[in-house]
Amino acid sequence: MSNIGFIGLGIMGSPMCRNLLKAGHKLVVYGRNEERVNDLVAAGAQSAASPRQVAEKSDIIITMLPDGPEVEEVVMGPDGLLQGAKPGSAIVDMSSINPIVAQKVGAACAAKSVRFMDAPVSGGEPKAIDGTLAIMAGGDAALFNEVKPVLEALGSSVTLTGPIGAGNVTKLANQIMVACHIAAMGEALVLATRAGLDPQIVIDAIKGGLAGSTVLNAKGPMVVSRNFKPGFRIRLHQKDLRNALQAAESMKVSLPLTSSVQQMLMALMNDGKGDLDHSAIVTFIEEMAGVEVKAH
């Protein structure tokens, strides 16, 4: 069992910590939400007063943060992980960030003889709770093999996709597909509803064919029941698509569908819907059509 530090106790990080404790690992946590820290301490974790203190007590440090600036602050800041990390220790950033930022943080770690891997996840809160996340890692193969048993306590699929930054490129590819799929599902269900069909029956008819998918199975019923409780928030998906478009621009790649859906997400955020589940992308299309997709 490993001495693991964990920073970022949000909607994903807290259940991930619980799964590490269930697997028997020693865990030191740091977060700004005192209630979540206290809950994890009650479950068997130790708390730390700063990222630096987490690093001093850990061999492997996992970060699960909103975006690149937070990762840079926690790792490279004045009281950050690199101020306390032992040479040879490992930082595994499971946040979804711009791959260029992941490479920058990895270089800063290497300068301090600290190993770094980016390992973003897919699956949202339900799979974080179940420990069945899809984990996409970027980094050195030896480090990957070392931390893989730890990551397997968090995910059912753990894949090394390439060098540092590759994990986040893979995650951005995932987020493009999910966002565009939800938007396409929204258009299809709005059309079916306007035609007088029951959208749940349409989903049931479609899901056994080529258009059937995990996205349809997970998000279709949420739309029909008007349940937009966040498993993955619109504002975070907007951030991911922004990072995808920034990365694409740097590589001179055109992503027209991604750009369109990112604009939908921005409009929804401006409409006060940024903290709804990303299945609420459908509401953008509903408002244009004057149709609400719901059970008959």
Q: Length of the chain, please? A: 296
Judgement on whether residues 173 and 160 belong to the same structural domain of the protein: no
Whether 126 is covered by a domain: the verdict is: yes
Rounded mean pLDDT, 69-93? 97
- Domain limits at 30? 3-164
Judgement on whether residues 27 and 142 belong to the same structural domain of the protein: yes
Judgement on whether residues 158 and 198 belong to the same structural domain of the protein: no
pTM summary value: 0.91
Please check the confidence at residue 15 and state whether its pLDDT lies above 80.
yes
Judgement on whether residues 208 and 89 belong to the same structural domain of the protein: no
Choosing from 22, 86, 148, 171, which is the catalytic residue?
171
Query: What pLDDT does 61 receive?
Result: 98
pLDDT above 70 as % of the chain = 100
Query: What pLDDT does 3 receive?
Result: 93
Whether 83 is covered by a domain: the verdict is: yes
Whether 79 is covered by a domain: the verdict is: yes
Whether 296 is covered by a domain: the verdict is: no
**Residue 296's pLDDT band (cuts 50, 70, 90):** confident
Write down which residue in 114, 143, 164 finishes a domain. Answer: 164
Whether 153 is covered by a domain: the verdict is: yes
Rounded mean pLDDT, 11-32? 96
Query: What pLDDT does 35 receive?
Result: 95
Judgement on whether residues 156 and 177 belong to the same structural domain of the protein: no
**CATH of residue 278:** 1.10.1040.10
d(Cα 120, Cα 66) in Å, to the nearest integer?
A: 11
Judgement on whether residues 118 and 134 belong to the same structural domain of the protein: yes
68 HSE (CA, 13 A, CB side): 19
Q: Going by DSSP bridges, is the β-strand pair 26-30/46-47 parallel, antiparallel, or unpaired? A: parallel
Write down which residue in 132, 164, 196 finishes a domain. Answer: 164
Helix (H, G, I), strand (E, B) or coil at 57: coil
Judgement on whether residues 160 and 15 belong to the same structural domain of the protein: yes
Neighbours of 195 (CB within 10 A): 9
Count of domains observed in the chain: 2
Judgement on whether residues 186 and 159 belong to the same structural domain of the protein: no
Judgement on whether residues 239 and 109 belong to the same structural domain of the protein: no
Give the helix/strand (H/E) hosting 28: strand 26-30
**Residue 1's pLDDT band (cuts 50, 70, 90):** low
Helix (H, G, I), strand (E, B) or coil at 50: coil
**CATH of residue 69:** 3.40.50.720
Judgement on whether residues 258 and 280 belong to the same structural domain of the protein: yes
Query: What pLDDT does 57 receive?
Result: 97
Query: What pLDDT does 29 receive?
Result: 98
Judgement on whether residues 8 and 155 belong to the same structural domain of the protein: yes
219 classed as catalytic = no
Write down which residue in 136, 164, 192 finishes a domain. Answer: 164
Mean pLDDT for the chain overall? 96
Query: What pLDDT does 235 receive?
Result: 96
193-243 per-position pLDDT tens digit? 999 999 999 999 999 999 999 999 999 999 999 999 988 899 999 999 999
Whether 150 is covered by a domain: the verdict is: yes
Whether 295 is covered by a domain: the verdict is: no
51-80 per-position pLDDT tens digit? 999 999 999 999 999 999 999 999 999 999
Query: What pLDDT does 188 receive?
Result: 98
Judgement on whether residues 152 and 70 belong to the same structural domain of the protein: yes
Give the helix/strand (H/E) hosting 148: helix 141-151
174-190 per-position pLDDT tens digit? 999 999 999 999 999 99
**Residue 2's pLDDT band (cuts 50, 70, 90):** confident
Whether 294 is covered by a domain: the verdict is: no
